[in-house]
């Protein structure tokens, strides 16, 4: 496994290690992490080591509007000296002494390292913090809490070091935690502090501790959102907002990565040469020989690669959307790609068509074995309390520009943190004619699900919601569950990528990519690709359909029209369809097992209904 090292912003030595993938997802900038000796918040990207390796993925760069990505150092390989490159700040600042009960800022205990009380006892960071739906975060206002927001009777209202925490072990729960002001004698337990209205009257100050301290740490945009009490290690303290893309031809060639590394320099040569190809070839010859591995590629190779990248640069005036990204990937997967035998460098995308299982002919139009793929995942921001973007109609989201998510930086820059993952997969393309007939017949069944999705103002499904999407998404879930039995992968090791026609698009898509990828190795060993061969895939899908025809929770599950988050699932539960959320692109929503296999009394509801009816019994 590859780890990135974490340091305190004011210190040189590492205080802990985190996996590289965690630094993009769970513990990206703005997240709280418990290190062996400290509780910290990961610092904004402004504080990252400037020498962090760069990554390139042109389509994802276009989508996010940036020039490149930065990957956290892997301590044992990229950073052999072990110099920590991921900074962090102490958070929460409020600590208490479990022996004498003092409750205050860690710097007020008198210990230079802020780790021990004056009585010699190790300090413990506060269990509670508070946050708002706009992504702001701060220490729990213990002083405000114990005084019920009224300091008029407290003689030391301007001092924050007069608090004490007591634990009543006889009662248990939050009522056993009692906060006391030693100045005025007021006491209040923490009972009720987790309710939505517990901090009503306590105004959000726009605090951003991941940016640092002082005035710069406070959001210049006014925020009037309601603060909520959260436990420091709770899952809803941090939800990363990520975006990923597959590297597809022509960007999957090694030469294109070399072009990206020297893009600004090469583009400068191009401008100086007046956009003349012959002059450009001559002018950059010296640069290529000295810096761009000319022994492996010719100058003509680089000129052709540069022109392809230049054409992409010219398309920047056109807004590149997620829909366009998925459509480009879908075309690449459908077409397949086998490198030339004399290819100098290994390709990052290799896809070869194979036979469709005979028994599934008419249901599946093609199967593509993706023998090698590269996925780049970038984090672009985060949310708190809820993974959904704040609703414009929600009073709690007023202010702070009604941001869709909280950015990772103090000052906008031209890059985002990202990781690259290598792996393999199987792409299955459904028969478009049969799918359209099924979709027309069952459109009304999914109108309720679509209405529910609209009402909850969710980004689940990324705008692809349709009966087609529900079918493809459910099929992917069922197939992953079956593959875990047939080829030994865990459910969390496999992921899905759903290619479904967007409601407002003329580009027809009907495909599912099941893949595995990892940042900790150079890919996988071909086990998943082998399962895509006709004989094995046919057996796997037949077994999958048989398993999906019943659930241990039937008939309740099979007849259900409202399960899961916001009732966005029909016949889908943990016993039959749901996956680890890291494997699902839509948070285990928009699923219906009936869309795949139908029901015992109506096979027409399922895309494979005819197949099930023919093989019934």
Alpha-carbon distance of 350 to 336, in angstroms, equals 7
CA separation, residue 141 to residues 209, 226, 230 (Å): 15, 14, 12
* pLDDT attached to residue 77: 47
DSSP state, residue 10: T
Q: Which of 246-260, 463-477, 585-599 has the lowest mean pLDDT?
A: 246-260
pLDDT band at 345 (very low <50, low <70, confident <90, very high): low
Dig out the tokens for 317 from the structure.
Answer: 């005036």
User: What is the residue-averaged pLDDT of the chain?
Assistant: 86
* pLDDT attached to residue 617: 52
Model-level pTM greater than 0.85?
yes
pLDDT band at 293 (very low <50, low <70, confident <90, very high): low
DSSP-assigned letters across all residues of 208-227: -GGG-SSGGGB-SS-B-PBP
* pLDDT attached to residue 225: 86
Dig out the tokens for 351 from the structure.
Answer: 């896809």
Alpha-carbon distance of 555 to 543, in angstroms, equals 21
Alpha-carbon distance of 147 to 179, in angstroms, equals 10
pLDDT tops 60 at residue 182? yes
Over residues 21-56, the pLDDT tens digits come to 888 889 999 999 998 888 999 999 988 876 778 888
CA separation, residue 220 to residues 43, 130, 205, 346, 399 (Å): 18, 19, 10, 49, 11
* pLDDT attached to residue 593: 96
| pLDDT mean over 231-254 | 91
Q: How many residues appear in the chain? A: 617
Over residues 62-97, the pLDDT tens digits come to 999 998 899 887 655 445 455 556 889 999 999 999
> Which residue in this structure is represented by tokens 């780790």?
115
Over residues 562-590, the pLDDT tens digits come to 999 999 999 999 999 999 988 999 999 99
Nearest Cα to Cα of residue 195 among 224, 227, 220, 217: 227
More confident residue, 284 or 131: 131
* pLDDT attached to residue 15: 79
Q: Which of 183-192, 196-205, 393-402, 571-580 has the lowest mean pLDDT?
A: 393-402
| Helix, strand, coil share of the chain (percent; to 5) | 30, 25, 45
Could you give the residue ranges of the DSSP H alpha helices within 443-486?
Answer: 447-455, 467-486
Over residues 536-555, the pLDDT tens digits come to 999 999 999 999 999 999 99
DSSP state, residue 522: S
Nearest Cα to Cα of residue 417 among 11, 2, 26, 137: 26
pLDDT band at 313 (very low <50, low <70, confident <90, very high): low
More confident residue, 281 or 548: 548
DSSP state, residue 464: -
pLDDT band at 607 (very low <50, low <70, confident <90, very high): very high
Of the chain, the percentage scoring pLDDT greater than 70 comes to 88
| pLDDT mean over 287-299 | 62
* pLDDT attached to residue 287: 65
């Amino acid at each position: 496994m590859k780890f990135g090292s974490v340091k305190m912003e004011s210190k040189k030595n590492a205080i802990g290690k985190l996996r590289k993938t965690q630094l993009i997802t769970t513990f990206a900038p703005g997240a709280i992490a418990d290190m062996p000796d400290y509780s910290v918040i990961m610092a904004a990207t402004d504080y990252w080591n400037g020498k962090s390796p760069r990554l390139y993925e042109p389509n994802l760069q276009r989508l996010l509007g940036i020039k490149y990505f930065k990957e956290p150092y892997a301590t044992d390989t990229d950073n052999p000296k072990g110099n920590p490159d991921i900074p962090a700040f102490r958070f929460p600042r409020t600590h208490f002494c479990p022996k004498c009960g003092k409750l205050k800022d860690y710097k007020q205990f008198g210990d230079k390292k802020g780790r021990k009380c004056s009585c010699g006892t190790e300090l413990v960071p506060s269990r509670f913090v508070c946050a708002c739906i706009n992504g702001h975060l701060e220490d729990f206002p213990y002083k405000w809490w114990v005084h019920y927001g009224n300091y008029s009777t407290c003689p030391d209202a301007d001092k924050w070091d007069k608090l004490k925490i007591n634990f009543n072990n006889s009662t248990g729960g939050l009522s056993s935690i009692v906060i006391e002001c030693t100045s005025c004698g007021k006491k209040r337990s923490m009972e009720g502090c987790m309710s939505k209205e517990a901090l009503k009257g306590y105004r959000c100050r726009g605090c951003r501790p991941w940016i640092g301290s002082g005035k710069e740490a406070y959001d210049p945009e006014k925020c009037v959102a309601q603060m909520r009490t959260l436990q420091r290690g709770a899952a809803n303290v941090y939800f990363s907002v990520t975006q990923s893309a597959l590297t597809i031809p022509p960007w999957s060639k090694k030469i294109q990565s070399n072009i990206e590394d020297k893009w600004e320099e090469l583009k400068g040569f191009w401008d100086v040469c007046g956009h003349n190809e012959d002059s450009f070839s001559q002018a950059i010859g010296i640069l290529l020989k000295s810096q761009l591995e000319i022994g492996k590629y010719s100058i003509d190779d680089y000129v052709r690669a540069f022109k392809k990248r230049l054409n992409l640069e010219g398309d920047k005036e056109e807004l590149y959307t997620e829909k366009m990204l998925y459509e480009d990937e879908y075309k690449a997967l459908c077409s397949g790609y086998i490198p030339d035998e004399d290819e100098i460098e290994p390709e990052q995308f290799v896809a070869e068509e194979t036979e469709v299982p005979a028994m599934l002919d008419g249901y599946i139009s093609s199967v593509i074995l993706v023998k090698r793929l590269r996925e780049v995942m970038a984090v672009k921001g985060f949310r708190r309390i809820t993974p959904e973007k704040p609703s414009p109609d929600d009073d709690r989201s007023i202010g702070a520009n009604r941001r869709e998510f909280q950015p990772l930086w103090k000052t906008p820059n031209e890059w985002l943190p990202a990781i690259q993952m290598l792996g393999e997969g199987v792409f299955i393309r459904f028969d478009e004619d049969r799918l359209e007939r099924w979709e027309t017949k069952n459109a009304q069944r999914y109108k309720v699900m679509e209405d529910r999705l609209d009402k909850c103002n969710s980004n689940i499904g990324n705008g692809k919601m349709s009966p087609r999407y529900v079918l493809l998404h459910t099929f992917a879930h069922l197939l992953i569950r079956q593959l875990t039995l047939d080829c030994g992968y865990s459910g969390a090791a496999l992921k899905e990528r759903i290619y479904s026609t967007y409601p407002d698009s003329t580009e027809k898509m009907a495909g599912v990519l099941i893949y595995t990828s990892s940042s900790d190795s150079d890919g996988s060993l071909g086990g998943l690709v082998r399962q895509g061969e006709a004989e094995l895939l046919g057996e796997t899908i037949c077994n999958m359909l048989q398993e999906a025809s019943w659930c241990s929770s039937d008939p309740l599950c099979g007849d259900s029209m409202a399960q899961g988050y916001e009732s966005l699932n029909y016949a889908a539960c943990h016993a039959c369809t749901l996956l680890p959320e890291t494997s699902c692109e839509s948070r285990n929503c928009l699923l219906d097992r009936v869309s795949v296999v139908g029901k015992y009394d109506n096979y027409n509801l399922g895309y494979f209904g005819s197949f099930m009816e023919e093989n019934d019994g």
